[in-house]
Amino acid sequence: MTLQEIVRQLDRFERGLTIYAANPWQPSTNALVARPGDDGRAPEEAVAAGCAYFLEVFMALAVLRDLHGLRGREPSEMEKCARLIEYAEWLRSDATDYPFIKWNFPVTMMIYCNGCGRHFDIVVTSKDSADHRCPACGKVHAFGLEAFIRKAMEQGKRMLRKTHGCR
């Protein structure tokens, strides 16, 4: 698969999966979508294909959702690839501001319930934290979009450091 082919069908992938891509990053780059190992490392199939961590599927969706709002029309596949590469490169830089995501509310997100171990969808209407009740077990979760995204980005940066460390 190529990065462009993954972008084309991005919303069909499970949100918990991760995109792995070969260097250099281009729309035609060899890439695949897989589940990371328990320790956050790239799975064997990615390593065997010469691919390394690129971006989580749910983060790619968030970055592209924003792009749609900026353009006021459906962006082309090339524009989507360019945006994801731009974001993935930013993630590997030392910058700590988050210039890429401006939300158009409401946003549907999927969160994990540590009460019953299931994921469930929530509708987020603002950047502020709000309570969401798990439909399966009733546990209430406070969810703040900004904090959630920041954590995901920091996790991405941490994972990169770990990847670099074992090379």
Residue ranges that bind Zn ion, judged by CB under 5 A? 113, 115-116, 134, 136-137, 139
Quickly tell me which residue has 């994921």 as its tokens.
119
Nearest to Zn ion of 103, 112 (CB atom): 112
Nearest to Zn ion of 47, 137 (CB atom): 137
> Nearest approach, Cβ of 59 to Zn ion (angstroms)?
23
> Nearest approach, Cβ of 114 to Zn ion (angstroms)?
8
Q: How many CB atoms lie within 10 A of CB 102?
A: 11
> Nearest approach, Cβ of 121 to Zn ion (angstroms)?
13
DSSP structure string for 88-123: HHHHTSS--S-TT----SSEEEEEE-TTTS-EEEEE
77-91 and 57-71 helices, crossing angle to 10°:
120
Nearest to Zn ion of 134, 153 (CB atom): 134
> Nearest approach, Cβ of 21 to Zn ion (angstroms)?
34
